[in-house]
Amino acid sequence: MKNEVWQELKDFGLQDNEAKIYLAVLELGQGTVSRISQTAELNRTTGYDVLERLCKYGIISRTPIKKKKIYIAEPPHRLRQFLETKKNRLEKYLKEFEDVLPDLQSLYKTDLKPMIKFGEGKEEMANIYKDVLTAKSEVYSILNLKGYAEVFDELGTYQEQERFRRKIKEKVLAIKSDTAVAWYNKIYKGKKSKQANTEYRWLDRSPKKFPVGEVNIFDDIVIVMLSKPGENVAFEIKSQSFADFLKIIFEMAWEVAK
């Protein structure tokens, strides 16, 4: 159980050693640097540095007793207060970041050589996929959801909701399959505002003849997600010429799709 709680604390944003020290203080109730560090299986210097940080977080406190610093566990609800404060601070920074972004963008230098990012595994793929949410132009997408939507349903749902919120429009060429139709019905059927935001056209082709995954084309970026069994990779190519070339091909296919 202790290992599970330690992992949860790390998921909440505490560093590895912070989680160890915090659990040690909770377990002991109170103690000196040496005793707490020993319980957490860390050296005294590391333990002291971490304890001082946790005091600043407000989740433990310190008091002098007989010329020694004694660290005392605060009630666990203080951790929630710390997380709420951290969340509010991050939301404030995100709002302020929008004012700084144009200046940072003006300093960001690129040349004509295509820039390529590669990701392997669901987490790295998700980081690349979320770049779609930065689109300034309409997104062109090609989908083969058979065997793909089942793996990335949660990520796809989040991306769709966030894209609607940001009013990023999308045109989708979808390989028709039971999975693709079920996905469309779940997200769009009977929802006029979402249908106005995202237009689907269908390609009657066997899903088995197409790679499993998705291609997104927007601005000067092409994102490819591939998810056949044992593959799960993504890559992003930043090249205006390449993106424009694929946009033309997409538009030609769009004209003949149902």
pLDDT in tens, the chain (258 residues): 567 787 888 888 888 888 898 888 888 888 899 999 899 899 999 989 988 998 998 889 888 887 788 999 888 888 888 888 888 888 888 888 888 888 787 776 655 567 889 988 888 888 898 899 999 999 999 988 777 766 777 777 888 888 889 999 999 898 888 888 888 888 888 888 888 888 999 888 765 677 788 899 999 999 998 887 777 888 999 998 999 999 999 999 898 887
CA atoms within 13 A on the CB side of 21: 29
211 Cβ contact list (under 8 Å, min separation 6): 144, 226, 228
Q: Could you give the residue ranges of the DSSP H alpha helices within the chain?
A: 2-12, 16-28, 33-40, 44-57, 77-107, 122-129, 149-165, 178-187, 192-197, 240-256
Nearest one of 121, 157, 133, 98 to 223, comparing CA atoms? 133
Q: How far apart are CA 205 and CA 213, in angstroms?
A: 15
Beta bridge partners of 233: 120, 226
Q: Could you give the residue ranges of the DSSP H alpha helices within 33-113?
A: 33-40, 44-57, 77-107
Q: How far apart are CA 107 and CA 91, in angstroms?
A: 24
- Domains of the chain in start order, with CATH, are 2-75 (1.10.10.10), 115-256 (3.30.870.10)
Q: How far apart are CA 107 and CA 177, in angstroms?
A: 45
Q: How far apart are CA 23 and CA 111, in angstroms?
A: 50
pTM: 0.58
| Sheet containing 30-31: order of strands | 30-31, 68-73, 60-65
